[in-house]
């Protein structure tokens, strides 16, 4: 029920955010806001900082739940409002130029900078209306990319949530194991940014995000399949695998916001997250296979993340590139990279 509700929720909130603004869609706007307000070179680094606090909170949450002991009070404690300015890109697309200028001034003030009225008056603002999501069927290359990213995200969510559930079965103290898992996630999040942006940059920038992390993830899970579940080596490899999986999850979560155009971004991301929720729904069932043999669950997770790694090889690189504004922009960027 939780993941079914999550799938429905992200679709509804995606539609709301595209029509009424990012700040009204609390589930997705935080990720997109840090993406759209940051310079291209710092986009991944800032997003990883955001995800680090998310992982740290996940580590604290089990103990918060344990100490409160009431799910109603827990919901009240963990429900907080984060105030962020509306996305400038969304305001531009809606023709809200004055509000866009005001938000630019807010961001500049926060960074200790001052923008003169002359500069604001001479900035070229491009107003592009939002496009219906069904228009993606008119762009075959983008449609192919969209389906690949959705299927890849389903596999990643299945493995990511599944490994978290699986970790709680490795000890008689599930709260402790989930906390350790979350701390490992923080480490993986911190490492992800320099690895994705700098590894083999001079020679294989196109494959840096695709091969390094996904191949490492596949190797780790294959080792997990071969090692006994009761050994210290198993736990060591499991947490190393979890760390690399966290890198994959964070980078792929940001990736969709980079390849989907502004005109349909929230709705497209919402649909992708809804499909990912189906993978989350399946993950406990995969973990349940451990009653037959613990190796079966790990093998399924290894195959899933391996397939996701292969899919990523057919998708465009986004490092250092401008976010596409329209479906035409996204289609052209994809075609440009295919021709290289």
Q: For residue range 269-299, what is the model confidence (pLDDT) as tens digits?
A: 878 888 888 888 888 888 888 788 777 888 8
What is the structure's pLDDT at 301?
A: 84
What is the structure's pLDDT at 208?
A: 41
pTM assigned to the model: 0.63
Q: Report the largest interatomic distance among the alpha carbons of the chain, rounded to a whole angstrom.
A: 70
Tokens 């992390």 locate to 213
Closest CA to 144 of 303, 335, 309: 335
66: its two tokens:
């344990």
What is the structure's pLDDT at 10?
A: 62
Q: Is the pLDDT of residue 111 over 60?
A: yes
Q: Is the pLDDT of residue 143 over 80?
A: yes
**Which of 26-35, 135-144, 261-270, 331-340 shows the highest mean pLDDT?**
135-144
Contact 290, 227 (CB under 8 A): no
Q: By CB neighbour count within 10 A (0-12 exposed, 13-18 middle, 19+ buried), where does 112 fall?
A: exposed
Q: SS3 letters for 257-292?
A: HHHCCCCCHHHHHHHHHHHHHHHHHHHHHHHHHHHC
Q: Which CATH architecture has domain 2-19+131-338?
A: Up-down Bundle (1.20)
């Amino acid at each position: 029920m939780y993941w079914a509700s999550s799938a429905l929720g992200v679709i509804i909130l995606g539609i709301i955010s595209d029509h009424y603004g990012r700040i009204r869609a609390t589930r997705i706007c935080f990720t997109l806001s840090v993406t759209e307000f940051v310079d291209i070179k710092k986009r991944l680094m800032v997003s990883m900082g955001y995800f680090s606090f998310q992982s740290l909170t996940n580590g604290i949450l089990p103990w918060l739940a344990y100490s409160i002991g009431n799910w109603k009070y827990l919901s009240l404690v963990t429900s907080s409002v984060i105030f962020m300015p509306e996305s400038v890109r969304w305001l531009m697309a809606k023709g809200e130029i004055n509000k866009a200028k005001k938000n630019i001034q807010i961001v500049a003030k926060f960074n200790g900078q001052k923008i003169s009225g002359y500069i604001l008056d001479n900035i070229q603002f491009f107003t592009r209306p939002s496009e219906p999501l069904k228009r993606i069927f008119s762009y075959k290359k983008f449609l192919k990319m969209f389906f690949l990213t959705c299927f890849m995200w389903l596999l990643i969510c299945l493995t990511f949530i599944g490994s978290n559930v699986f970790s709680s079965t490795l000890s008689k103290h599930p709260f402790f194991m989930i906390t350790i898992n979350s701390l490992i996630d923080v480490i993986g999040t911190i490492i992800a940014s320099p690895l994705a942006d700098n590894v083999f940059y001079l020679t294989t920038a196109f494959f840096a995000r695709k091969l390094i992390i996904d191949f490492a993830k596949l190797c780790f899970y294959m080792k997990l399949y071969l090692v006994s579940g009761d050994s210290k080596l198993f736990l060591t490899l499991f947490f190393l695998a979890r760390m690399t999986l966290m890198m994959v999850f964070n980078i792929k979560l940001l990736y969709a916001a980079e390849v989907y155009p502004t005109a349909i971004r929230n709705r497209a991301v919402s649909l992708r997250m809804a499909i990912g929720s189906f993978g989350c729904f399946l993950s406990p069932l995969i973990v349940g296979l451990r009653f037959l043999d613990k190796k079966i669950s790990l093998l399924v997770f290894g195959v899933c993340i391996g397939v996701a790694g292969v899919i990523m090889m057919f998708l465009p690189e986004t490092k250092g590139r401008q976010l596409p504004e329209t479906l035409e922009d996204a289609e052209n960027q994809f075609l440009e990279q295919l021709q290289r």
